[in-house]
Structure 1
Amino acid sequence: MGKLIIAHTPDPDDAYMFYGIASGAVSVPGFEGIEQVVEDIETLNKKIIGGWNVDVTAMSAHGFAYVVDKFYLLRTGVSMGEGYGPMVVAKRRMGLRGLKVAVPGEYTTARLLLRLATGGGYTEVFARFDLIPDMVLRGEVDAGLLIHDAQLTYSDMGLVNILDLWDWWRSESNGLPMPLGVDVVNKRLGRDAALRIRNALQESIRYAWSHEEEALKYASKFSRSGKKIGEFVKMYVNQRTLDMGEEGIKAHQLLLKMASDNGLIDSALLPRMEII
């Protein structure tokens, strides 16, 4: 085969887990090197749902619901929250009903979780995730749904957490980890190639762990805030990332079932979901 095209986000956790592959220390058997495409998560979601025929890509667990017939979901490379996750912040404590809430994209898992948790009742304003805190501070929106490293820095900006989606998810799921981001492989490559890619990504994560200083230095180039990179990476690159396990699989299945039961995704596609 030729080059393997891998797309991921410009976020420290993604950059960290792909460091072994990106640095050339880890190869993917059967492919003559790799080509990286780096785009923000919602851009990737929209391109993939729109028919982009990329080989391997990161995307939101929510976005994956629309392409389960075209991509394998890897057990490896997932971002899952345990004790933390997306949150809604504002300048003061308030309820969401009737408010304008900045949301980081139509197909983000955070958006799906917020809709499931609240049933709606607020006006969505779609915005790039890294712009949301400042939108709240300037009063362009009443509240903002935070993902990525802003979850660690919002209080430094004078914002308060008015809805913690981890608390809601923990109650609804009986303590399962919270699905957020995933890595998927195009089914046209075949199951054997997908398994080789999965194994290489596992090796890439282990390589980053064993070369932490250089992997974090590489990942820091992709941070918007430049703050708390190591803490953020450790939150979202952990043993669940190496292999989500049976609890992780159950969590993804539960999330998509909840979305289907609430009419938020097409239930006809769900039986075609394959996790490898």
Structure 2
Amino acid sequence: MVTIKVGALADSGDLYPFIPLMEGKVRPEGFNLEFEVIPTVQKVNEKVLKREVDVSVPSAAMYPYIQGDYFILGNAVASAIDGITGMPILSSEKMDVKDLSNSRLIVHGPNTTAFTLYRLLVGKYKKLVIIERVLDEIKALGKEGDVLVAVHEIKMMYAMKKLGVTPHVVTSMWDLWKRISNDAPMPMGMVVFNKDLGRDLALKFKETYEKSKKYAEKHLDEIIPKDVEIMRETQGVNIDKEIVEKTIWADIQEYNVPQEKVIEGLNKFYKLAEERGVLPKVINLDVV
């Protein structure tokens, strides 16, 4: 029986669909699953680039580099459709958009969608600061960097409040994106599947993933404690149950955008990124 290596990202919003499978609440039929929990988005991006996992949750911006190796699961693309998870640009002091070109920019990886959207929609910065862990980004704001792109903003805002930090919102990726995209969904992350395992198995996994995701959404009381435990073990931080719940609720909206709208957003994103020289061309948007 085939064993599929799954690299689950240790972020509450991206992790929740996998927890029922990890916990045996939903069982795959016809294949086995082997799980590895990966601490950061940048580490996920590196692992899919090296093809060390069969399934994982890389940044949407990684797809042009892995398009020959992985399918995109059409029911597993995190897409912003409003400003709730719109990736705000936060600053330690009041700042205008025109000041961003002279700022020290904090991002959690060079291949992330957050940084790619910044390059696509804003463009310039004075210095790039890479800090892979989300909560470490907060501590660097105002010290190592002037601004950051807040991907996990619910957790980010909560943690800042606990630290006594009051950030200023300069703008958001969503506000800038919707002006040039005719309100198409804004891609952020995606679940991908190793093409070497074949399209048929990819479709079987997609169906199993959907069952797991729906189970999680109906049984959050079971899922959230496990999510908190995994985050504590992997990230080395205690995140309040309330914040995990709010993060998951926000991501439930992102992971349930209709597939035709998801594809519209992906096509718009890759077309604009290629035209502006930010990403290589996507030859074939291979969605299952």
Contact 2:41–2:108 (CA<8 Å) still a contact in 1? Answer: no
CA RMSD, Structure 1 to Structure 2 (Å): 1.7
TM-superposition CA deviations, 1:23-61 (whole Å, max 9, x none): 112222221x31111111111102222x22421111100
Q: Distance in 1 between matches of 2:200 and 2:27?
A: 16
Q: Distance in 2 between matches of 1:78 and 1:152?
A: 24
Q: Distance in 2 between matches of 1:152 and 1:125?
A: 20
Deviates more, 1:187-196 or 1:73-82: 73-82
The answer to whether the aligner puts 1:233 opposite 2:248 as a matched pair is: yes
1:182-193 to 2 correspondences below 5 Å: 182-193=190-201
Identity %: 24
C-alpha distance 275-266 of structure 1, shift in aligned 2 (>3 A): same
Contact 1:61–1:109 (CA<8 Å) still a contact in 2? Answer: yes
Q: Distance in 2 between matches of 1:140 and 1:264?
A: 25
Q: Offset of 1:241 from its aligned partner?
A: 1.6
Q: Distance in 2 between matches of 1:271 and 1:123?
A: 32
Q: Distance in 1 between matches of 2:120 and 2:275?
A: 10
1:23-62 to 2 correspondences below 5 Å: 23-31=23-31, 33-39=32-38, 40-49=40-49, 51-62=50-61
TM-superposition CA deviations, 1:160-186 (whole Å, max 9, x none): 111211111111111122110100000
1:1-276 to 2 correspondences below 5 Å: 1-31=1-31, 33-39=32-38, 40-49=40-49, 51-84=50-83, 85-94=86-95, 95-128=99-132, 129-137=134-142, 139-148=143-152, 149-153=154-158, 156=161, 157-221=165-229, 222=231, 224=237, 226-227=239-240, 228-238=243-253, 240-242=254-256, 244-267=258-281, 270-276=282-288
Q: In the comparison of the two structures, how many residue pairs are matched?
A: 270
TM-superposition CA deviations, 1:54-85 (whole Å, max 9, x none): 21111100012210111000012222222232
Deviates more, 1:101-110 or 1:214-223: 214-223
Contact 1:202–1:242 (CA<8 Å) still a contact in 2? Answer: no
Contact 2:138–2:156 (CA<8 Å) still a contact in 1? Answer: no
Q: Unaligned regions of 5+ residues in structure 2, if any?
A: none
Q: TM-score, normalised by structure 1?
A: 0.92
Q: Distance in 1 between matches of 2:238 and 2:23?
A: 24
Q: Distance in 1 between matches of 2:60 and 2:24?
A: 28
